[in-house]
Chain A
Amino acid sequence: MIQRHHAALLEVRNLRVQLESRRVTLTAVDDISFDIAAGEILGVVGESGAGKSMTGSAIIGLLEPPGRITGGQILLNGRRIDNLSADEKRRIRGREISAIFQDPLTSLDPLYSVGRQLCETIQTHLGFTSAQARRRAIELLSATGIPGADVRVDHFPHQFSGGMRQRAVIALAMAGQPKLIIADEPTSALDVSIQAQIITLLKRLCREHGTAILLITHDMGVIAEAADRVAVMYAGRLVELGPVRDVVRQPQHPYTQGLMASVPSLVGERDGLKQIDGSMPGLDAIPSGCPFHPRCGRAVAVCRQHRPGLLAAGPAAAACWLHEPKLAAAFAAPSRGAGPVA
C-alpha cells in the first residue's frame, strides 16, 4: 500500500500543453495537476485524443513540435524539470525518468544486439566499464524474466518474440536505475496471456526497486490490476483522480461511470452494453464549461457555462458540478440517465 504522507516524487502543477499552428492554437492538455509518490503506480486512462500520451511526453521532455508546454510546472524531487535546456533534459532522460512505449520494435534498434543497446545505456548513465556493463545487462535481462539471459544478450531484436521484446524494453528502461518510468500503453500490442506476465513484472520491479510508474493506457482492466491510483482524462482535462479501487467500483464523474459501464465483462449481465452516445470532441471543438456536458445525461445550465475544477467526491476527486454541495438543488430534478441501448 502507498503511504500518502511521503513527499511526492513527481509533481505536475497546472500543466498546459498547446499545439500552435499559424492559424489556431489547440490545447491538448489543459490545466492538469497530480503527483506521484516513490514506488507508486499512477494509471492515466482515457480514450484516444484525451491527452494521456501528451502528458507523458511533456513529463519526459519529448514533446514533438508543434506541441509545447505553455503553462504550469513539472517538479521531480522538488526540482523544476520543465524549463531545462535540451542538454540537461537529455541527462535526466534514462537516468531519472525513462520510458516504455507500446511497440517494442520501435524502441529497439534492429541493427544492434539487445545487449549492446543495454550496455550503451548503462555506460552512459552509470559510468561502468564495458565488462561491468555486460554483467549488469545480463542481470537486467534475467530480472525481467528472459530465460538464458547470458545467451540472449547477444541476440538481435528480431530474434525475440513480442513478449520477450517488451521484457527487453523494460530492461532497457530499468538500466539507468530511474526513479520514474513513463509506460505508454506497454501491454496494448501484446496477447492477453503475455499482457498478464508483463503487468506482473512491472508491479514486481516497482515494488523491488521503489520505481514509480506513470501507466498510460486505454484499458481499464490493466489499470484495475496494476495501478494504485488512477487519473481519468477527457478532452485534455483531468476529470477524476482517486484510489483505483474507488474509481473502478464507484466512479464519481458521469464520464467515468459511462466508461466503466461500457467495458464488456466476463461476468454478469450479457444483454446490451451501456453506451455513451456521441464521441469525444476534437481539440478544435471543445465545448464551453464542462467538456463532457453535451454527452452527459445529468448536465444542467451551470455545466454549459462554467468549467468545474476537481471537487472532493468521497475518497476520490471529480471535476463535476454534481459534487458541489451548493449546486445540489440544480441537480435535484429527475435526470434522464443513459439507459442500455440494445
Chain B
Amino acid sequence: MSTRPEHPENSADTPVTSSSGEVSRLPRDPLVRAEAISKVFDVSAPWLNRMIERRPRQLLRAVDSVSLDIGVGETLGLVGESGCGKSTVGRLLVELEQPSEGRISFPGEAYAENRPGNTHRARGRLQMIFQNPYASLNPRWKAFDIVGEPIRVHRLIEDPGLIRKRVVALLEGVGLSAADADKYPHQFSGGQRQRVSIARALASEPTLLVCDEPTSALDVSAQAQVLNLLRRVQREHELTCLFISHDLAVVRHVSDRVGVMYLGRIVELASVRQLFASPRHPYTRMLLDAVPDLEMRGVPRTGVPGEVPDPLATPGGCAFHPRCPYANLRCRSEKPALLPLQVVGKEMVASAASVACHAVHERRIG
C-alpha cells in the first residue's frame, strides 16, 4: 500500500508489532526524539492593564522539559488530566507549535530535513487527528475534497482520475464507501466523520500520526469502531503514533508504551503492561484508582482529595506533592527527574519504566 521507502538503517532490526498486538521487546530505533522540550505561553493581560494594575507578565509553562522517543512503528500513549500539557506535546511534535526550549529531531532522516520549521509538515509526513470531528472538517467541502486535499497540495498524484481512485481507496480503507465521497460532513455521524479525518490523515502517507483525543467526542460503540480501525490502520501502514487521551482504558487499548503527564511533566513512562500491572508513581496509582471500572463494582474508589493546581502557580519541588500521601521535605523542595528504575545497558529498553518520584527512587514506596 505504502509507496514510501523504508529507512535503510531501520528496516533490519525494527520490531514489528506482532499480530497479537503485543509489543516486541527489542529496542526500536526512534523515529522522533524530543530532547527536554518546553513550551511557554505568554498569558499576560494586555499591556495597558498591566501598566495600570502594576502586574508583571504571566508565563504559563504548558510543557516543562519533556524528553521522549517514539520508536518506528510504535504507539506511545500520553495520558493526564485537562491542562497537563499532553495536547501541547502533540502539537509540538507535528510542528503546529515551536518549542520554547529543547529540540525535536527525526534521527532516521537526513540532516537537511532536521532544521526547525522545515518541510516535515509541508510534505505531509506529520499528520494529526483532532478531537472534535465537527470542527476539524470543513462543512462546505465534500468528503472527496477533504480527503483529496493533501494529495493535491503535496502533488502526490496529478491526474484527477487517479486522485478520485486514491480517495475512494482511502475511504474504503477506513470502512466508508465510494458513494460517501460526495457527501458533506453533516451527512455523516460522529464516528463516520472521524473515519473521514483518519482517511485525510493517511492521504499524504505520513510517518508520524498524532491522535489528540480522537474518540472523546464519540459514543462508546463508535469509539470501539474507531479504536479498532486506528489499530488496524497503524499496523497496515506501519505508522508511528502518539495517542493522546484522558481515558486510561482507551490508552491501554491502543498503546505499546504509555507516558503519564502532570502539570507539564512526564511523571511515569512505561510499557503498557507494566504501567497497568504495577504503576509506580503515586499520581498514576491515583488515576488508576479513580477510573470507574465495570469489574471493580463494590470496591470503593480511593479518591485522592484535591484538584490539579493552577498551572500559573505550580507548587515548588514535585508538582504533585500537595496531593501526595508520601510527600516529605525533599519532595517539597526538589524537582524529581524522570529516571529509569533499572538501567539495562545503555539502550532504551521497551520494558524499563521511568518514574519521576523521590519516594519511588528512595524505595519509600514499593
Contact = CB atoms under 8 A, between A and B. Distances in A.
B2 interface: no
A291 interface: no
Contacts of A266: 248-249, 252, 276, 288, 291, 293
B81 A275 contact: no
Interface string B173-195: 00000000000000001111000
A21 interface: no
B246 A273 contact: no
B220 to A, nearest CB: 5
A272 B253 CA distance: 8
Interface of A: 47-48, 161-164, 191-197, 199-200, 218-222, 224-225, 244-245, 248, 258-260, 262-268, 270-277, 279-280, 341-342
Given A279-B189, A342-B232, A271 B21 contact: yes
* Interface size class, chain B: 35 or more
B290 A195 contact: yes
A279 B221 contact: yes
A266 B222 CA distance: 19
B123 interface: no
Contacts of B36: none
A262 B224 contact: yes
Interface of B: 20-21, 81-82, 189-192, 219-225, 227-228, 231-232, 246-250, 252-253, 272, 276, 286-295, 297, 301, 303-305, 307-308
**Interface of chain B: mostly helix, strand, loop or mixed:** helix
Given A265-B249, A266-B276, A272 B290 contact: no
Given A264-B249, A342-B232, A275 B224 contact: yes
Contact of B291 (A221, A260, A277, A279): A221
A276 B297 CA distance: 25
A266 B248 CA distance: 7
A224 B21 CA distance: 29
A275 B221 contact: yes
B221 A163 contact: no
Contacts of B224: 262-264, 273-276
A341 B249 contact: no
A196 B252 contact: no
A221 to B, nearest CB: 3
Contact of A279 (B191, B232, B288, B308): B191
